[in-house]
Structure 1
Amino acid sequence: MKRQNYILSILLILFISPLIFVSCNKNLDINQDPNNPTDVPENLILSALLSNFSYEVNGGYPTRVSVLWTKHLAGGIAGNHEGNYLITGGDVNNFWTSFSYSDVMNNAYVLKNKATTNGNPNYSAIAKIVLAWNLSMTTDVFGDIPYSEAFKGTEGIYKPKYDSQEDVYKSIQALLDEAISEAASTTNVLKPAADDLLYQGDMTKWAALAHTLKARFYLRLSNAPGLTASAQAKLALDELAKGSITMATQPKFKYFATTGAENPWFQYAIDGKWAVTTRPSQYYVNKLLASNDPRIAFQATKVVAATNVDPANVGKYIGLTNEAPGNNILNYSAIAPFYSAKDAPLYWMVYPEVEFIKAEAEFLVANKTVNATVTAAYEKAVRASMDFYGIAATDANTYLANNALSSNANTAYGQIMNEKYIANFLMFEAYNDFRRTGLPALPINNEMYPGQTELDQPPRINQIPVRFPYPSGERLYNSDNVPADIPTDPVKAIVIPVWWDSK
């Protein structure tokens, strides 16, 4: 997977900047390796940074595992795997070491420092947004993580201390505040342009994204110790009032129908680079079918006729469970092309989430009561989710008529979060929302495989995991700093909530 992303980064840099490598210095220093430059300009760092963050993190391991745990997808393979909660310290090493810290956060840190030194605050702004976002995803699955000492190898710090998750979130918000200020700066020696593979140098869009992330993160801490849900919700609403992404500006990363540059979901679940057995779950498909939800056509495919496909399945949506299927995998729905075509964009965040943040926040500000403002926000959020797919307004009206917001507070909260869960299909955020609120109520993935008994399987947990185990590499090389309250045994570790998960 890392090789594919490396190819993608290089292809994109060459595509955007075809003249970068044309000229050479006539007085070539034969002692300098041209394939291992010691100083890379901001524009080249930025393109690779965005590419790596998209492929390795937003479309990478944390998202692929979390959507199994939230039952958006299932892994139809025999034996134990992430889908039925088998995850080890070795499994998470690549995400922690190679992708999250090295490819993304370290390079974001380098970019922000270089941009500051060179007088390019717009580049620093983008670097800080990416750094803050990646920090959030890392701390959300691990809890306490290194940050304040994480990128100080040049200062001789090779075993960085772990910062508390509470402090990491304070740093995340500070980074985003700084980014918003720097995005507004016009005093740049060099400004992002085509090398900005997300917004092509439009800093107003980056600032709006930063405000949106701040709102998301305020709401993330709605049940954190020492904080109140209504106060966090008010902060989220205030932040969105300053600016947010729109349907036209929601962050989506472009991919191409060429080898090595395809959409991550295509590579992961469709063409077989890893497997073709990761598909919409039976729970999720049946859930949408039960409510006649028109979004299913954009999230899953109908089974098509093929060799070894039961004719009775053709033309139907059929979901998968986390076990070896009883018949050919083609008897089950795949992820729809909207998300998984070769050249489908990868959505880092979808606009409907903004409206669902508002709906939940209004509900919390009203002390978990339903009023006209909450109802209107809920309906607007559901319509935004329908609009996201281009679903006709008449179909949206019918759906809302059948799923009107209840006047009962508990039922209404479940409806808001259930609709947000559907709107955030294949999004990492659905996992955070589930842990934060317990909504929607999801069944655990504890299917027993045909012919197996409990004695055939390793220890199982009777709940959806609420964190990743710490990497085995950290326990080997930075053991003194790994939090002592998180067991080495992953079965015991993954049931311990992170700091903000105290519902």
Structure 2
Amino acid sequence: MRHTITKIFLVIGLIMTIGCETTDLNLQDNPNELGPESADPNFILNKIQLNFNDIFNGMNEKTMPIVRMEHLYGAYGSYAGSDALNFGQWFDTYAVLKNSNLIDALGEHREISHHQGIAKILKAYTLVLNIDLLNDIPYSEAGDGVNFPQPKTDDAKGLYLELIAELDRAIVLLNMDSDKITSDMFFNGNIENWIKVANTLKLKMYFNQRLIDPAGSAAAINTIVTEGKYIQTQSEDFQFAYSNATTPTDSRHPRFKDNYIKGANVFMSNFYMYLLKDSKLMVDPRLRYYIYRQSNDNEKIEAIPCKGDTGFNFCYIGDYYYGRDHGDDDGIPSDTQSRTIFGAYPFGGAYDNDNFLTGFDSDLTTLEGAGINPIMLSSYVDFMLAETSLTTSFTGDSKAYLVAGITKSMNKVTSFVKTEVTKAAIDSDTAAYIKIVTTEYDAAADDAEKLDIIVREYYLAAFGNGIETYNSHRRTGYPSLIPTNLIKDLGIYPRSFLYPTDEVNSNANFKQKKVTDQVFWDINDADFIN
């Protein structure tokens, strides 16, 4: 269901103020704020949901280029460096924590267990996103600026365990009677779907830990799957839906606004487009939904700066798919109206029907920004279970899960455009694609080759979610990526992100980390990823 996003600002008494000792984490209580009897839990939950989505957006924009889901402009450092997680995302993280705790306090006076449960899930998800990028983060001392003006970081592995327990508490709350929620932007009050999100987040956390505890992860995942209360269908997908509304606030997807209003502001990844277009015996049926070509002007193609330079893997992949190679930071010509841009899925742009119209051409039919943020989809779960089946003692059929993941992805993507298009994918395209992949899978020489196939197909299904692909890449080293031939040094591949500079500079208990530091569940060799 699509929602018009209207940011309902909390009344001034519920806005968390920032202490002076450390820039982001104090969020001290305002002595003049409204008491529990007066505060509206729906307003607070609304703010938590918006903050959570903003956090996902910010992290996604940094991870998609790193994993070649879109073009990486220059070196890795500008994406995972000290300002990669900016003030807004860092502040939003601890605003979610603070507001979740506030809803808990309100729950002592009212029957709002469903508000509490959803707030706990979003708090846990927010913190897991941060842990998976940063490792240790503040938690136990965060949000209490009076007693802990400079909060210390908590051990990431221990915090994972605490958050799993918090998700169990959320499920208990969601199974209780509660006042009605009026501000559910994800499931419109469907509590069963929220329970499935909680269990799926637990599954994802156990899945991430399969390298450090394969038997324990397999057993925990097996329990969740056996109980059956996890995301399995498209109607249960955990996604944030935008609308095409521009008033009273602009509620269109930000990536649509960045590419369809005045011209493209990013390049598509040549490697990703190559995988979709040329890496198999057929073109991926999702290509025209993912990618939109603005121009078929051959003069523009000939003017691509890298043309004729043998130092590039691709430069140009043909058929007017005009992107850039990984790390290419050559000067940008006047090409914002000719380069390839995001298509209809997932950000709400245009389906490529060989239109060759600019993104802002009034004759171009688009979804007008009514896209989604695909946070955790049923197809993703199947790919995770395929990997778990192959690499642990989990009782499942890896090939069957692989096929299910591809099928669900194809169905979701190809049904995203509701208007009739002449070049739309049909069921036989999906069947042919699956036949190619399963034939390759059956012919794989060993489990390593099979794992590469599973992770590659997850990568292709996860377009619009660089976060999960970044996790997969660090956990498995796959999908196999063509090494860059660029003369430019892209720097060290980041195994984690740096802390925000402002927090390090203002909090004496913070010590800046290195991008070579690995998160607790990544125990692969230091040179595992080049």
Per-residue deviation, 1:139: 1.1
Matched letter for residue 256 of structure 1: S
Q: Go from structure 1 to structure 2 and tell me whether the alpha carbon gap of 1:380 and 1:339 turns closer, same or farther (over 3 Å shift).
A: closer
Q: Distance in 1 between matches of 2:108 and 2:269?
A: 47
Question: Residues 2-401 of structure 1 correspond to what in structure 2 (within 5 A)?
Answer: 8-10=5-7, 40-54=39-53, 56-59=54-57, 61-75=58-72, 80=74, 85=78, 87-102=80-95, 104-153=96-145, 155-186=146-177, 188=178, 190-193=179-182, 195-224=183-212, 227=213, 229-242=214-227, 243-245=229-231, 246-257=233-244, 258=246, 259-271=249-261, 276-290=264-278, 291=280, 292-305=283-296, 309-310=300-301, 316-321=320-325, 322=327, 323-324=329-330, 327=333, 328-341=335-348, 342-366=369-393, 373-390=397-414, 391-401=425-435
Q: CA deviation at 1:112?
A: 2.9
TM-score (normalizing by structure 2)? 0.76
Verify the 8 A CA contact 1:288 1:296 in the aligned structure 2: yes
The answer to whether the 8 A contact 1:90-1:471 is kept is yes
C-alpha separation in 1, matches of 2:332 and 2:174: 54
Evaluate the alpha carbon distance shift between residue 233 and residue 444 of structure 1 in structure 2; reply closer, same or farther with a 3 A threshold: farther
Superposition deviation, residue 315 in structure 1: 5.7
Change (3 A) 1:392 1:236: farther
The verdict on how the C-alpha distance between 1:436 and 1:117 changes in structure 2, with shifts beyond 3 A counting, is farther
Can you list the C-alpha shifts for 1:267-303, whole angstroms capped at 9, x where unaligned?
A: 344436xx83323201111111122211212211124
Q: How far 1:85 moved relative to its partner?
A: 4.6
Alignment of 1:377-456 (within 5 A): 377-390=401-414, 391-404=425-438, 405-406=441-442, 407=444, 408-427=446-465, 428-443=467-482, 447-448=486-487
CA contact (8 A) 2:203 2:224 kept: yes
Q: Measure how far apart 1:360 and its partner are.
A: 1.3
Alignment of 1:445-484 (within 5 A): 447-448=486-487, 461=491, 463-479=492-508, 481-483=509-511
Pair 1:117–1:430, CA change in 2 (3 A): farther
Q: Taking structure 1 as reference, are residues 354 and 466 closer, same or farther at Cα in structure 2, changes over 3 Å only?
A: same
TM-score, normalisation: structure 1: 0.80
Cα distance in 2 for residues equivalent to 1:256 and 1:185: 32
Considering only aligned residues, what root-mean-square deviation do their CA atoms show, in Å? 3.1
Q: Deviations over 1:337-362 (max 9, x none)?
A: 22222121222222201111221121
Q: Tell me the amino acid that sits aligned with residue 68 of structure 1.
A: P
Matches of 1:422 and 1:182, distance apart in 2:
36
Question: Which is worse superposed, 417-426 or 84-93?
Answer: 84-93
SS in 1 for 2:267: strand
Please tell me whether the aligned partners of residues 142 and 469 of structure 1 are also in contact (alpha carbons under 8 angstroms).
yes
| Amino acid corresponding to residue 426 of structure 2 in structure 1 | A
Mapped partners of 2:33, 2:464: distance in 1: 36
Maintained 8 Å contact 2:87/2:502 = no
- Distance of aligned partners of 1:500 and 1:269 in 2 relative to their CA distance in 1, 3 Å threshold: farther
Residue 8 of structure 2 contacts residue 47 of structure 2 at CA under 8 Å; is this kept in 1? no
Change (3 A) 1:11 1:119: closer
Structure 2: distance between partners of 1:178 and 1:146: 21
CA contact (8 A) 1:270 1:340 kept: no
Query: What is the deviation of 1:37?
Result: 5.9
Which amino acid is 1:249 matched to? Answer: E
SS of aligned partner of 1:348: strand
Counterpart CA distance in 2 for 1:123 and 1:208 is: 16
Q: Is the 8 A contact 2:295 2:339 kept in 1?
A: no
User: CA, structure 1 residues 85+303, in 2 after alignment: closer, same or farther (shift >3 Å)?
Assistant: same
Considering fraction of residues, name the structure with more helix.
Answer: 1
Counterpart contact for 1:303–1:315, Cα < 8 Å: no
Is the Cα–Cα contact under 8 Å of residues 302 and 333 in structure 1 kept in the other structure? Answer: yes
SS at match of 1:74: coil
Cα distance, 1:8 vs structure 2: 4.7
Q: In structure 2, the residue corresponding to 1:248 is in which secondary structure?
A: helix
What is the CA distance between 1:374 and its match in structure 2? 2.2
Q: Percent identity?
A: 22
Deviation by residue 1:43-73 (Cα, 9 ceiling, x = unmatched): 111112212211x1122x2111001101000
C-alpha distance 397-325 of structure 1, shift in aligned 2 (>3 A)? farther
* Cα pair 1:85 1:465 within 8 Å, conserved: no
Aligned residues: 441
Q: Distance in 1 between matches of 2:243 and 2:34?
A: 28
> Structure 1 regions of 5+ residues with no counterpart?
1-6, 14-32, 455-459, 488-492
Contact 1:256/1:263 (CA < 8 Å) preserved in 2? Answer: yes
Q: CA deviation at 1:443?
A: 4.7
